[in-house]
Structures are given as C-alpha cells and as structure tokens.
Amino acid sequence: MAVADNGSTTAPALLLLCGQLCFLVMMMCCLAIEPSALALKRGLSYCGTHVGTVVPYSLGFALCVSLTAAAVARIRGGSKSLRRLRVALGAIAALLAAIPLTPYSLDLVFDWLHIGLTTALFALALVVGWWVAVRLRADPAVRGLVAAETAGGVLVLVAQVGLLDFMIPVEVCFQIAFALLVVRALPLLQRRRDAPEQTAC
C-alpha cells in the first residue's frame, strides 16, 4: 500500500517539472527572438506585448498551465495537507492562465489587472512555500528551497519598484525554487499521511 501511494506522487512531480521546463524554454525562445535589455528589466510579461514573441510566450503559458493542471488532477490522497496543496496548485494554475490574457500594454485597466494577477500569483506561491516549510520544517532541502524562494520574492519586489534592472532572472529563480519545493513536498506529505494509517493497522 505504501509503495503504491508513494508512487502516486511521481507522475504529478514529473508533470510539474515538465510544465516548468516548457515555460522556461519558451521564454528563452522569446529572448532569443527579440533580445532586449528592457525585457530583462520589465520581466517576462514584456514578451507578451510584442508580435514577434507573443506566440512562444502564449505557448509557454499554455503548456505550463496544462501540465500543472494535469499534475493537480493526478495528486491522490485524502489527507488535509495533500488536499490543501492540490487546491493551492489549482489556484496557481488559474492565475497563470489569466496572466497572458491581460497584456499590460493595452491600456491602464489591463495594466492594473496584470499587476494584480501577478502580485496574487507571487504572493500565493510564497504563502504555499512557507506553509510547506512549516509542515516539513525538519527537512533541510525544504528549508533551503523556501529560503531561495523567499529571496527570489524579495528581489522581484525590489525589481518591481525599479531598484533592480534584472526582473527576468529573479522571476526565473523564484519559479524554479517554488517548483522544486512542491516536487520535494509531494512525497514527504504523502509519507506523513501514510505513517499514522500504518500504525493504526
């Protein structure tokens, strides 16, 4: 029973990692198509405002959202921790899907919508990261990844207010740290659920 349950976390983890990889590859394609110092300063969303990069930009989001949604659908388990993580990842996928639909260059309304959505996305990912860190505080890898995610979040905020000219690198660091944190958390939360059930038997 325990082997089957632990195995159930493998497919979601792989799907999450594939989604992140697709996203990063597409964003790198955008930067290769239209290299720009302004893009580095303004962030990945800059690529969604130009005709030459809007297709790979949108494709990156579509693949990431689709694979993340597929991962969420494959997370099995009745524990509160896994259910909460599944709901949070579903909300993150929904926010990701909305971001390319609100290109900030259209007008002021879209600009504010885009800022609101991206702020909510980063805030939720950070809250989830800290929640995982509290639940799994004994794991050194989790502590290291949440520290990296937090540092990335702080630097994203610094870049957003114009004090740092490298938004894209810190966005990518934040995203990678969060993805690895979730991948690490899945089997650990699964084992935490299994232990009391096995003891009860």
pLDDT at 155: 93
Of the chain, the percentage scoring pLDDT greater than 90 comes to: 67
Quote the CA–CA distance of 11 and 76 in Å, as a whole number.
10
| Rounded Cα distance, 64 and 19, in Å | 4
Per-residue pLDDT, averaged over 117-123, amounts to: 94
pLDDT recorded at residue 178? 96
pLDDT tens profile 171-185: 999 999 999 999 999
50 close to 58: Cβ distance less than 8 angstroms: no
How many domains would you assign to the chain?
1
Structural domain that includes position 141: 2-192
In a domain, 147, yes or no: yes
Helices (H), 34-99: 37-42, 54-74, 80-98
Residue 14 lies in a domain: yes
56-79 burial, b for 16+ CB within 10 Å, e for fewer?
bbebbbbbbbebbbbbbebbebee
Q: Residue range 44-48: average pLDDT? A: 91
pLDDT at 1: 33
Report yes or no on 173 lying in a domain.
Answer: yes
Residue among 155, 152, 134 at smallest CA distance from 143: 134
User: What six digits make up the tokens of 21?
Assistant: 């990889």
Per-residue pLDDT band at 129 (split at 50, 70, 90): very high
Residue 174 belongs to some domain of the structure: yes
Task: Give the pair of three-digit tokens for residue 144.
Answer: 């290291």
Domain annotation covers residue 197: no
Average pLDDT over residues 87-91: 95
| pLDDT exceeds 50 at position 134 | yes
- State yes or no: pLDDT of 197 exceeds 80: no
Instruction: Check pLDDT > 80 for residue 165.
Output: yes
For the chain, how far is it from start to end, CA to CA, in angstroms?
Answer: 12
Tell me the per-residue pLDDT of 56-80, one tens digit each, with 9 for 90 and over.
999 999 999 999 999 999 987 667 8
SS3 81: helix
pLDDT confidence of residue 85: 92
CA atoms of 6 and 186, how far apart (whole Å): 9
CB 7 within 8 A of CB 190: no
Q: Is 127 exposed, middle or buried (CB count within 10 Å of its CB: 0-12, 13-18, 19+)? A: exposed
Please state, rounded to an integer, the average pLDDT across all residues of the chain: 87
CB 104 within 8 A of CB 49: yes
Residue 198 is assigned to a structural domain of this protein: no
Cβ count within 10 A of residue 163: 9
Whether residue 68 lies inside any domain: the answer is yes
The mean pLDDT of 133-162, rounded to a whole number, is 93
- Examine residue 97 and state whether it is found in any structural domain, yes or no: yes
The predicted pLDDT at position 78 comes to: 61
pLDDT band for position 195 (cuts 50, 70, 90): very low
